[in-house]
Structure 1
Amino acid sequence: MKIGARILKTGIAIVLALGLAQLLKFPSPAFAGIAAIFAIQPTIYRSYRTVIEQLQGNIIGAAIAIGFVLIFGNNVFYVGLASVIVIIINVKMKTENTISLAIVTVIAIMENQNGDFLDFAFVRFFTVMLGIFSAFVVNFLFLPPKYETKLYYQISNLSEEIYKWIRISTSHVSEPFHIKSEIQATKEQLIKVEQLYLMYKEDRELFKKASLAKSRKLVVYRQMMVTTRKALNILVKLNKYENQFHHMPEEFQNTIREQIEYLITQHQQIQLKYIRKIKASYEFTSDQGITHKELLSLFLSIQKEVKDENEQDIYHMMALTSAIIEYEEHIEHLGTLISSFQSFHKDDDELVIETTNED
């Protein structure tokens, strides 16, 4: 079993919250540990936002709890009623994420107690807030998430999987049903990559220069995902029209295989260029492959060779040809974006070679 950074950070946050609560001699340090569990977030920005939202939610919860105890007492019925009111207020304010911890605050404050109630209530409130701030400190200082590195390698690994199945499909040795299940798995993985992209996007940079660089990186990564999706589209077409493809004239099949192989190689090299494993002077060129015009001419020429009863196959090959042209256009655009980025940020070495942090 692999223990991710978020698991470790949750443990560290609990230890820190409990330790600080004991050091400050708070009577119920467990509430600080509970609050730390709720406050751990996958990104630093989310952690910061959680502190603000939980502070707001806990102030509401504490205020209602104190008001109920002073007016009605701490009967269990009023604890439930106060919790319902807290939920309603948070829903109205669209801060549903704070509901759980706000209710914990209500219960902590309305618990049976002796002595000065207001002192007790404020101590419980600050105990909960101590847990939230402990989680924020841990999230900020310990094992900060490296979403850029994860994002690049997940896109790269996913692309390699697609290349592999494209090559198998064009060689006519594939099992269509098996490839169909691989396509579905790849689509699901792409959704996860897009979610990772959103996490990377929402994290904020502290300095203006880094923020500008990240804005350009976001454009590059978005194009990487789009280009990978276009490669997947070719695999889908090859799988769907495998029989029709292998009934086409030999020249057409060979040319399509060579063009796809050429584009895959270009795609690989451009992505390696981004992490500076290939010279920055490398540029995408279609000189080695055939042009769009030549590919269209080849497609049009096979219409004369295909029998009338197989005319439907021509429309399927048109879809495949169109997907290949679209893939090439996106590879070219990706290459342009990466070249532009590296010309503006020649000293950007933030993208490490190995992924060392997993949530």
Structure 2
Amino acid sequence: MKLGARIFKTGLAVVLALMLGELFHLPSPVFAAISAVFAIQPSIYRSYLTILEQVQGNVIGAIIAIVFVLLFGNHFLIVGLAAIILIIINLKLKIDTVSLSVVTLIVIMETPQDEFITFAILRFATIMLGILSAFIINLIFLPPKYETKLYTSISDITNDILKWTRITNHDAVDHTLIKKELELLKEQFIHVEQIYLFYKEERTFLKKNKRGKIRKVVIYRQMITTAKKALEILRKLHHYQYDFYQLPKNIREQLLSVISHLNNNHEHLLLRYIGKAVQVHTEEMEEYVAKRNELLHLFGDMQKISSEQLTMDHMLQFMATILDYNEQLEKLEILISSLQQYHREEIDVDVS
């Protein structure tokens, strides 16, 4: 099992919450530890957003708890009704920290009736102390540099897609196996999108760095878009395999040659971004135009084929996807070339 930074931060936040609870002689400091677990976040920016929501949600939860106890008592049915009302209010206000605010409500409503207000305030303060502890830990232990992690994730998933595309091109893969792999790749994109969001949310403090960050955010978004288009080609190559092999051999071989060439360009672009391949911008742009013209010529040839020989709609969709892939690679080529020509020093990826 892999132990990530968030696991250690959670443990440290619990320790800090318990320690501060003991230091301030708060009753039941365990509630501070519980709230710290809910409050820990993977980035400072998310921690900042979360602490605002948690304060709002906990204040609402505390108010509802106090009002319900004073008016109706703390019978378990009353606690359940109060929790339902609190959840509805949180959803209406679009506050995502529902769980912690419900914990706050339950903790306060279960406070002994003697000196209820005093104990309720103390328990509310204890929970807020846990949230503050988590925020402090997030500030002290800075999150990892997400740029390297993002590039590596995009590169890995792209290489997997291209590998399976080459295997499928040679009709050397089991259908059940490729189907499972397609589902796995789809799930991996969810992880990539999450890392992209973390990277996008990372704060930069210098104006110069902010401009560079915006440029790189656009490039990484295009990398993801292009990788998804490569996955779409793999998926259609798998789904329409029967129709594909009904095409005349010369057209089929030309299509496979174009796909192979675009795949090679895709790999080359990712390596160029980190300085591990030479820049050949002019030649690449000429090749994209040539491949687009070649695909359009093949498109005309396919229209001459009798529709009785294959499901023409499927092959036209497949052709459109390849054209789109060519276009996305061309966009990525322009973005990377521009960054390397004018802002090479802004690339901060360590894959050694």
User: What's the TM-score bracket when you normalise by the shorter of the two chains?
Assistant: 0.7 to 0.9
Partner in structure 2 of residue 52 of structure 1: 52
Shift of 1:38: 1.2
Aligned-partner Cα distance in 1 for 2:298–2:107: 75
Deviations 1:297-318 (A, max 9, x none): 34544676x6x47543665444
Q: What are the residue-to-residue correspondences of 1:178-197 with 2, within 5 Å? A: 178-197=177-196
> What is the CA distance between 1:59 and its match in structure 2?
2.0
- 1:90 and 2:90 are equivalent in the alignment: yes
Q: For residues 93 and 318 of structure 2, what CA distance do their matches in structure 1 show?
A: 50
Mapping of residues 192-341 of structure 1, within 5 Å:
192-279=191-278, 285=284, 287=286, 290-301=290-301, 308=306, 311-312=309-310, 316-341=314-339
1:2-49, Cα deviation, whole Å (9 max, x unpaired): 222222221121111111211222221101001001112233322111
Alignment of 1:79-228 (within 5 A): 79-80=79-80, 82-95=82-95, 97-113=96-112, 117-142=116-141, 144-228=143-227
CA RMSD of aligned residues (A): 3.0
Check the 8 A contact 1:273/1:280 in 2, yes or no: yes
Q: Deviations over 1:50-94 (max 9, x none)?
A: 111111222223334444555666565655554444334333323
SS of alignment partner, residue 285 of structure 1: helix
- 1:284-335 deviation line (CA, Å, top 9, x unaligned): 615568432233334544676x6x4754366544433332222111101001
CA distance in 2, matches of 1:209, 1:153: 25
Please tell me whether the aligned partners of residues 36 and 134 of structure 2 are also in contact (alpha carbons under 8 angstroms): yes
* Aligned counterparts of 1:115 and 1:185: Cα–Cα separation in 2: 57
Following TM superposition, by how much is the alpha carbon of 1:268 offset from its aligned partner in structure 2, in angstroms?
Answer: 0.9
Higher RCO, Cα 8 Å, sep 6+: 1
Measure, in 2, the Cα distance between the counterparts of 1:7 and 1:253.
51
- The two structures have a TM-score, normalised by structure 1, of 0.84
SS at match of 1:54: helix
Does residue 35 (structure 1) correspond to residue 49 (structure 2)? The answer is no
Identity over aligned pairs, percent: 48
Give the conservation status (yes or no) of the 8 Å contact 1:5–1:143: no
Aligned pair in 2 of structure 1 residues 116, 285: CA closer, same or farther (>3 Å)?
same
Alignment-mate amino acid for residue 154 of structure 1: S
Q: How far did residue 176 of structure 1 move?
A: 3.0
Change (3 A) 1:73 1:165: closer
What is the TM-score of this pair, normalised by structure 2? 0.85
Q: Secondary structure at the match of 1:27?
A: coil
Letter in 2 for 1:291: K
